[in-house]
Structure 1
Amino acid sequence: MAGNVLLSKGRYRARLAQTQKDIRAAQALRTLAFRTESTDRDQYDDLCTHVLVEDSKAGGQLVCCFRMLTMQGGSEIGNSYSAQFYDLSALAGFDGQMVEMGRFCIHPDWTDPDILRVAWGAMTTYVDRNQVELLFGCSSFAGTETEQYLDAFAMLKHRHLAPKRWLPRVKAPDVFRFAARLRRRPDAKKAMLRMPPLLRTYLMMGGWVSDHAVVDRHMNTLHVFTGLEIGAIPPARKRLLRAVAR
C-alpha cells in the first residue's frame, strides 16, 4: 500500500492529500457540504494534514474529507482552531500527542454508511502510526436554533460532559449553556436522531463534550468541543476500529 494511502476498503480509498490540487478539492467539497457563500478555506489549511476519501466506482470522486492538526502536547493547545472559540487552558497540562480533527464532511449526494466507517478506519490508522493519545475538535449541529436539539443537548448533559479536569470554559461571545439551562430528562430516541453522526461516533467510543455550545453564525452551526482520550476507548470498540482499519 502506498505511503499516502491510509486505508482501502471495498469501493473507497482513504489517503493523505499530496498536492495543492488535493487541498483545493477538499475545500471545494467543504464549500458544497457546508453551503458557505465563498470557498471554505482558512489559515489552518496550510498547517494541517488532509485526509481524502474517494469512491473508486465513481471515477475517484472525492466523497469525504477532514483535516488533522498534530500537536506534541497540551502546551500547544492554544494554536488549535478550537481555541478560537473555547478557553482550553484546562487541557494545557495534557501530556501526550494530540490531534485536532476538523472540517469533517461527506458529499451530500453520498449516503453510504461505509464512508463514515472508512473515515474512522483511516483515522485509527493515523492514530496508531503516530501514537496519538487525544483526539479533539468541534462537533457541529446544522443551523443556529437550539429548539430541535434540546433532547440531544440534554443527553450530552446527563451522560457525556467532559471530566472536570479537562472541561473547556466559555470564550465565545454567543453560546448556549445547555448544561446550566436544561432541566429536562432526554428522550433517548429523539436525542440520537438529532445527534450529528460524527459526534455520535465519538460518544460511542467514550468521547466527551463541553458544557456549552458555540453559536457560529459564519458557519451556520452550533458546535460543542469534543474530546476522545484514546486510552479510554472500550476494548471492544478498539477491536472494531482496528478491524475496519486492516
Structure 2
Amino acid sequence: MTEPVAKRNASPMRAWDPAVWADQGRKIIPMVRAYGGIRLRDARAELPETLGRIGSLEVRLAANAAEVRRAQKLRFKVFYEEMRAIADGPSKLARRDIDAFDAICDHLVVIDHDVVKRPRFGPPRPAIVGTYRLLRQDVANRHGGFYTASEFDIAGLLERHKGLRFLELGRSCVKPAYRNKRTVELLWHGIWTYVLRHRIDAMFGCASLDGTDPKALSLELSFLHHHAAAPEEWAARALPSRYVGMGRLSKDALDVKRALHALPPLIKGYLRLGAHVGDGAVVDHQFGTTDVLIVLPVSAISPRYIGHFGPTGERHAA
C-alpha cells in the first residue's frame, strides 16, 4: 500500500517559487545551512519513543533535528534522484528535501536496526528507511495553516467541522528495498497510534498520480471522480487557478478493473481504509505529478482495519 512518493503536501508559500526567494530568502537560507534555523519541537515529549516494531523495524517519531535531516535525505533520494522532481535551490544545495513546514511537523520514521550507518563523526546509527510527515491542526493554526492549502481550498472543509481535530499527512516515502507489506503496515500502525494519542478525528493530504498530462490519466481520474468522490459534508475543491476536471470519461465507459490496477498503491490503500477524494485535480510540474485530495474521517475507517491494528494500537506495540 505504498509507492515511492505519497505526496509531499503543498504549502501556501512554496520554497521553489521565485517570489518566495525574494520575500523569504532570509528565512530559507539559514534553514539550508543547518536544518535548524527553525527550532524543532521535541517529539518525544508528546509520544512514547517507540510506536511499534516488527522484527528489526521500528516506527517512531524523529527524536531530534539530526533525524529529521536524515529523513529529508531519504526524501531527496526518492523524490529527486529516483523520481522526476526538480530540486529547488535549498534542496539542491543541501541534498535534502526541505521546506519551511518541516520545522513544525512531527516526522514519523521507520528505522531498520539491522542496518547500521557509521558516520565519520558521531556514534553508529540505524538506517531510516521510511518516513511520513504529520501536521496537526492545532500546530498548523499557530504557524500559518496547512501545506495542502496551496493546491486545494480546504477552508470550507475545516469550517464545517470546527469541533473536529484534523491531521495532515504528507511527504511520505519508503526506500526501494523496503517497499513491502511489512514496512507499510508499520508506517500505518505508527499513524494509527499517533491518531489515537492525539484524538484525531479526520486526516487529509495530497496523493499523487505519476505524470502531468491529465488526458493520459483519464482512466484513473475518472474512476476517482465517479467512485470515490467525497460527500458534500467532506468535500473540498481544487483552487480555481489550478483546477483540473477529473470526470474525463463517463461512468459507463469506465473499465473499473483496469482503473483499479492503474491506481497507485497508496491511493488504493487510502480508499480501502474508507477515504474520499476531493473535487478536481492539480498538476504539480515541479514534482512531475497530478495530485488529488484525500480526505479520511476516522469514523469512516473500516472496522476490519481498526481490528487489524487494535483499537488502542497495541498490535505492533513494542
| Fold match by TM threshold 0.5 | yes
- Percent identity of equivalent pairs: 29
Cα shift at 1:228: 0.5
1:219-234 correspondence runs (5 A): 219-234=287-302
Q: Which residue of 2 aligns with 1:150?
A: 218
Cα shift at 1:11: 2.5
Mapped to 1, the partners of 2:115 and 2:52 lie a distance apart of 17
Q: Secondary structure at the match of 2:177?
A: coil
Mapped to 2, the partners of 1:106 and 1:44 lie a distance apart of 20
Residue 83 (structure 1) aligned to one of 146, 149, 170: 149
1:168-179 correspondence runs (5 A): 168-171=236-239, 173-179=241-247
Q: Which residue of 1 aligns with 2:130?
A: 64
**Structure 2: any 5+ residue segments left out of the alignment?**
1-46, 117-125
Cα shift at 1:32: 1.0
Say if 1:175 and 1:213, in contact at 8 Å, map to a contact too: yes
TM-score by length of 2: 0.71
Q: Which residue of 2 aligns with 1:16?
A: 61
Q: Which residue of 2 aligns with 1:124?
A: 192
Q: State which structure, 1 or 2, has the greater radius of gyration over its C-alpha atoms.
A: 2
Q: Which residue of 2 aligns with 1:31?
A: 76
Q: Secondary structure at the match of 1:126?
A: helix
Cα shift at 1:77: 11
* Match status 1:5 vs 2:35: no
Cα shift at 1:141: 1.4
Q: Which runs of 4+ in 1 moved over 6 A?
A: 73-78
Q: How many residues align?
A: 244
Mapped to 2, the partners of 1:84 and 1:71 lie a distance apart of 16
Q: Which residue of 2 aligns with 1:238?
A: 306
* Match status 1:182 vs 2:271: no
**Structure 1: any 5+ residue segments left out of the alignment?**
none
Q: Secondary structure at the match of 2:167?
A: strand
Q: 1:133 to 1:11 in 2, by over 3 A?
A: same
Mapped to 2, the partners of 1:74 and 1:137 lie a distance apart of 13
Cα shift at 1:109: 3.5
Higher relative contact order (CA 8 A, sep 6+): 2
Mapped to 2, the partners of 1:30 and 1:175 lie a distance apart of 27
Residue 47 (structure 1) aligned to one of 104, 110, 113: 104
Mapped to 2, the partners of 1:191 and 1:55 lie a distance apart of 34
Mapped to 2, the partners of 1:78 and 1:196 lie a distance apart of 31
Say if 2:219 and 2:249, in contact at 8 Å, map to a contact too: no
